Amino acid sequence: MRVSKAQAQANREHIVETASVVFRERGFDGVGVADLMAAAGFTHGGFYKHFGSKADLMAEASACSLAQSLASAATLSVQEFIDLYVSRAHRDSRATGCTMAALCGDAARQSGDLKSTFAEGIEHMLQTLGEKYPTGPDAAPDEARVKMIDLLARAVGAIVLSRACPDDSALADEILGVCRGEMVEALLVQV
């Protein structure tokens, strides 16, 4: 049975969205094409009708989930971002959480194209957060950017370190609490 162009596009989008969740949950190397297609409700054979390679899907799924993270961050103040990002709820929601915290380590070992996708997503996040960063009239022109690079690196690092600990570990919660507290304190010093 032939599928209309509109249905084929809808199927592709569904595969990309499903892959973005599965990749965040299991990593790029932790899942094969057959498993990705099965998770999306399709057969393995249909994969190559939509994508040239798994690497193509990795880049597209990453761009999709990075855009979702950006859309969420765009609705938050910097304080709200810190509170939601550096939290146990985010830590425990790997499949639906931030792509940077879930996949930056994996992306570092991938192609230049995938690294470029991540660099673009990181840049957009820095710009979005930087626009919300409260600076005083005497602030240096790049102050917001410097502060947001520091904030984003701390936030992602806190989640990565916390996830590396056992789920019920006191250390996992301590990492989140200390990092969140230090980030909020640094933010308040600037206001």
Would you state the pLDDT for residue 190?
58
pLDDT means over runs of 10, the chain (191 residues)? 80 94 96 94 87 94 94 91 95 94 94 94 92 72 86 96 94 97 83 49
Please tell me the distance from the alpha carbon of residue 22 to that of residue 15, in angstroms, as a whole number: 10
**What angle (nearest 5°) sits at the alpha carbon of residue 176, between those of residues 174 and 181?**
95
Please tell me the distance from the alpha carbon of residue 53 to that of residue 60, in angstroms, as a whole number: 11
Would you state the pLDDT for residue 135?
67
Would you state the pLDDT for residue 136?
64
For the chain, the domain total comes to 1
**Boundaries of domain holding 85:** 5-190
Would you state the pLDDT for residue 102?
95
Please tell me the distance from the alpha carbon of residue 62 to that of residue 24, in angstroms, as a whole number: 9
Residue 27 φ/ψ region, left for φ over 0, alpha for ψ in the -120 to 50 degree band, beta for the rest: left
DSSP-H helix ranges across the chain: 5-26, 33-40, 47-50, 54-74, 78-85, 88-91, 99-107, 112-132, 143-164, 170-190
CATH code where residue 110 lies: 1.10.357.10
The pTM is what?
Answer: 0.88
CA torsion sign for 55, 60, 63, 69 is negative
Would you state the pLDDT for residue 131?
85
Would you state the pLDDT for residue 2?
74
